[in-house]
Every structure is written in structure tokens, then in C-alpha cells.
Homo-oligomer: A and B are copies of this chain.
Amino acid sequence: MNPSQLFNSFLEEGQILTDKALEQRYHHIWHMDEPLKALCVLLPKNTEQVSKIMKVCYQNDLPVVTHGGLTNLVGSTETIGNEVVISTERLNRIEEIDKASRTITVQSGVILENIHNATEEEGLLFPLNFGARGSAQIGGIVSTNAGGLRVLKYGMTRQLVLGLEAVTVEGTVISSMKKIIKDNSAYDLKQLFIGSEGTLGIITKVILKLEELPKSRNAAFIGFDNYDAVVTFLKYCDSKLAGKLSGFELIWKNSYVQMTSVNESVRPPLPYDYNYYVLIESLGGNQFNDQNEFQNLLEQALEEELILDAVMANSQSDVEWFFRIREDVNNLVDFMEHDQHFDISLPIPYIGSYIEERYNSLRKIKGVNQVYAFGHVADGNIHFMVGKSNLSTELKKRIDHCIYDGLQKIGGSVSAEHGIGLHKKDYLHLCRNEEEINLMRLLKTTMDPKGLLNPRKIL
């Protein structure tokens, strides 16, 4: 089959990539040197074209994989060669910023950073933010229900999507493009598409909720000796800072040491005397008042011996320095032969002991060279970066099992933010039971009876 013939009645030549052109394409930003295996890559510009593509694929039983910014961390954009790839990169129009409704309407291929820039110009904030902001597209972000650094204050993607338009496997356009905050008119269909990693439909547009741009930003690094004190201080901050607490990131000592000893731009704000380091951030409406309040909170916490040590950012460049420490995982990864990363979710009270146990057992595994833990502790979300000496499947699985196997018992999840994709499929049963998985399969076969949408992923 020559796929061009199927699509060239409604797509221009430049919108259909095949053969040689595929060599310039890839399935992930970290694998740019591996040419893409696919029948073709299609570059639709609007919803109508996506709908037509899906009609053709449905009629011809062609599997479809959607490519957004290709920054996912679970293999969910991988292909084997028999697929039509729909790339959303030309669905890149910002359609409207409505200042009074505080919404932005975008096509699904708009890059996160472009949304930030456009909204900030209008004095508004789209709060979702994470390292891949320069590449990740809103369609991919919604399809993975991405999280990031400010979930504590603003929620995950699911909470920020007001309206959504998606195309079903049969090519039907489901348009729920409303700007309203509350809508209890029957089933909330957009929930089906959010977080389903392209397996139930293709998102073509969204309306996002915006917030007022904060007028103040304060941050501090804080030292603790034991995990329980971290949890007590989290409650303390949450209560004192009310709705302003926007970040509460925990870094285990050895991670902090590594993160702050690599180069000048990430020197340590606090000495290496503590077992746990917390980076807190607050966003508010008045820099002068909020800074005072923040400082008083820290002083009082020191006085009450809730914390052992604290250093507050004195300027915005200090704030950026603090966040660079937490955000730049290259300072960990660059020193690893090979790396394996994790994104687990667990109830907050268990985190201290669970992570300590993992540290101990991981370090006993032959081939494991480094173990670093850190994460969004206020969301119960911890990341592990494990450095190892080889790429054998056996070693990989031993590490996986070490981190995942205890989660079931404590009601955790193998994926807090990143999704399941291909890489976590084998572990899904550790956090979802048989009845849940059966119901997921029922949804999948209902929405995609031929199994054409992102085959092999998730289930």
C-alpha cells in the first residue's frame, strides 16, 4: 500500500511524509538518531483533517499513533512500523486568550512554553510547568495528565482543562469546547481523553483555565533530621501560608549533595549537615507582605524547633538558583553510566520508611552504582534516579521490582505523573486490581473496537 494515495485527496504533499522523509523523524526527543518506523507521518493542520485521517484509517484498519512533543518518559510514542503516525506539530495555533473568562483556547500542538509566553503577556498564568516545557505540546500534556512543580497549589492538568475537542477512532469529532468552570450537564466526557495516552481518541483542541499572575514569589531551603518532622512542617506551612504554598519539594541528603556539588551555578544553600532538605515556594499577591510573612514563618518554625536550619532566597535570582538545584537532573544523570528513572506515588506517611528501604535494597543490587531520591512530597510523588553499570534486562527488572513491589501493600502507584505507556505495562497490576483492569479493557474496546489507537500501550 502507498499511504499517500489514501490521504492525498485532503492533505497537501508536505503534510504526508513517507520513505526517505521518515529518516529525519524519531519517536522520542532522546532518540533522535533512530529513524522512525512507520507507514507515514501525517501533519494535519486542523480538526477536519484529523477527522478525515481517522476515517481512512478506520476503514483500512490502520493503527494510529499520535506524536506530540515526544517528551513522555514511558515509551508511549514508540512504533513498530505498521502505523500511521499523526503528528500534531502543525496544529499549533493559539486561537484566543479571553482575559475576562481567564481562558486560553489552543490547538493541541501548541508547545507549553508558547502558552506561558502568550498568557504572561496578558498578565495571566497557565500554572502547569515542568522541565520539558520547551518541547511538550498541550495535546501530549493533556493525554498524559501531566503534573510538575506546582500541582500543590494549582492541580494537575485534569484540573486545568475546561473544554476539549477530540476525534474518535471512527473520525467523529467530539466537541466539548466550553469556557465554563462548572458543568454538570450529564457525563463529563473530557475525563475520558485526559490521561489516556492517545488510546481512546485524538485531542485536537483544548480550552485551559488561567490564573492571575502571582505578584510575589518566595522560596527557602530547609534542613531536617527525620522524615516525620518534614510531614509536620508541611502541615504547618499549609496552614500558615493558606493558599499560597505552591511547592514543597523533598530532597534526600545524598541527592542534595550530588545536586549541589557539580558546578558553580548550583552551590549548596545549606551545609551538608542534614538528612533531608526541603525546598518550599510560595506565590502570592504582594512581594513585601508575603516576604515578611514567609520570613516570620521560618523564624517561628526555628524557634519552635520544627526545623533545624533554613535559608531564604533574598532575590529572584536566589529563587532561580534554588530551583535549578532541584530541576536540573543532568547533575545526577551525567555522572551515571546508564540510568533508570522512576515516578512513584504513595501515601505521604509511608514515604520516609519506603524510600529508606529502597535505598538499602537498591544499594545491595550488583550493577547499581548510584541511587538518588527526591520529589513532590506534598503530592506523595517521589522520583528515583538509579545509575547502573549495564543495560541488561535482568538488572533493569531487578531494579524495577525493588522499587515497585512494595507499593501495592501501601496503596501506592507505579505512576504518579508519567503514565503507563509501554514501559510500565508489566507493573500496572501492582497498583490496579483485576476488576479495574477489566473495566479499563471494556472502555478501550468500546471506544476503539478494532484496537487501532496507540496499540500495545497501557493495557
Interfacial residues, chain A to chain B (CB-CB below 8 A): 98, 100-102, 144-145, 147, 151, 153, 155-156, 158-159, 168, 172-189, 191-192, 194-196, 211-215, 231, 235, 238-245, 283-286, 289-290, 293, 345-349, 376, 379-381, 411-420, 424, 428, 431-433, 435-440, 442-443, 446, 458-459
Q: Are B349 and A180 in contact (CB under 8 A)?
A: no
For the complex of A and B, the 9 pairs showing the least CB-CB separation, nearest first, are: A243-B243, A100-B349, A191-B191, A182-B416, A212-B239, A242-B284, A240-B285, A242-B285, A183-B413
Q: Are B175 and A413 in contact (CB under 8 A)?
A: no
Q: Are A417 and B186 in contact (CB under 8 A)?
A: no
Q: Are B186 and A420 in contact (CB under 8 A)?
A: yes
Q: Are A187 and B440 in contact (CB under 8 A)?
A: yes
A62-B190 Cα distance, complex, nearest whole Å: 31
Q: Are B184 and A145 in contact (CB under 8 A)?
A: yes
A205 vs chain B, min Cβ distance (A): 13
A383 vs chain B, min Cβ distance (A): 12
Copies in the complex: 2
- For the complex with contacts A180-B416, A242-B284, A446-B446, 6 further pairs of A-B residues with Cβ separation under 8 Å are A175-B433, A182-B413, A185-B415, A186-B428, A187-B443, A191-B192
A317 vs chain B, min Cβ distance (A): 22
Selected from B187, B240, B290, B424, the residue in CB contact (under 8 A) with A286 is B240
A391 vs chain B, min Cβ distance (A): 25
The residues of B that contact A102 with a CB separation of less than 8 Å are: 235, 348
Q: Are B183 and A345 in contact (CB under 8 A)?
A: yes
A446-B447 Cα distance, complex, nearest whole Å: 10
The residues of B that contact A379 with a CB separation of less than 8 Å are: 181-182
A34-B290 Cα distance, complex, nearest whole Å: 57
The residues of B that contact A180 with a CB separation of less than 8 Å are: 345-347, 380, 411-413, 416
A184-B158 Cα distance, complex, nearest whole Å: 11
A284-B376 Cα distance, complex, nearest whole Å: 23
**Looking across the interface, which residue of chain B has its beta carbon closest to that of A196?**
B187
Q: Are A186 and B446 in contact (CB under 8 A)?
A: no
Q: Are A182 and B147 in contact (CB under 8 A)?
A: yes
A459-B187 Cα distance, complex, nearest whole Å: 10
Q: Are A212 and B238 in contact (CB under 8 A)?
A: yes
**Looking across the interface, which residue of chain B has its beta carbon closest to that of A416?**
B182
A211-B153 Cα distance, complex, nearest whole Å: 12
Take A239-B215, A413-B180, A436-B176 as given contacts and tell me if A185 and B428 are in contact as well, using a CB distance cutoff of 8 Å: yes
A159-B191 Cα distance, complex, nearest whole Å: 12
The residues of B that contact A155 with a CB separation of less than 8 Å are: 155, 159
Q: Are B98 and A174 in contact (CB under 8 A)?
A: no
A178-B231 Cα distance, complex, nearest whole Å: 19
Q: Are A347 and B101 in contact (CB under 8 A)?
A: yes
- Report 24 cross-chain contacts, Cβ distance below 8 Å, ordered by A residue: A100-B348, A101-B347, A101-B349, A151-B182, A156-B182, A172-B439, A174-B435, A174-B439, A179-B411, A182-B381, A183-B345, A184-B415, A184-B418, A185-B414, A185-B428, A187-B440, A187-B458, A188-B195, A213-B239, A214-B242, A240-B285, A244-B244, A289-B293, A442-B446
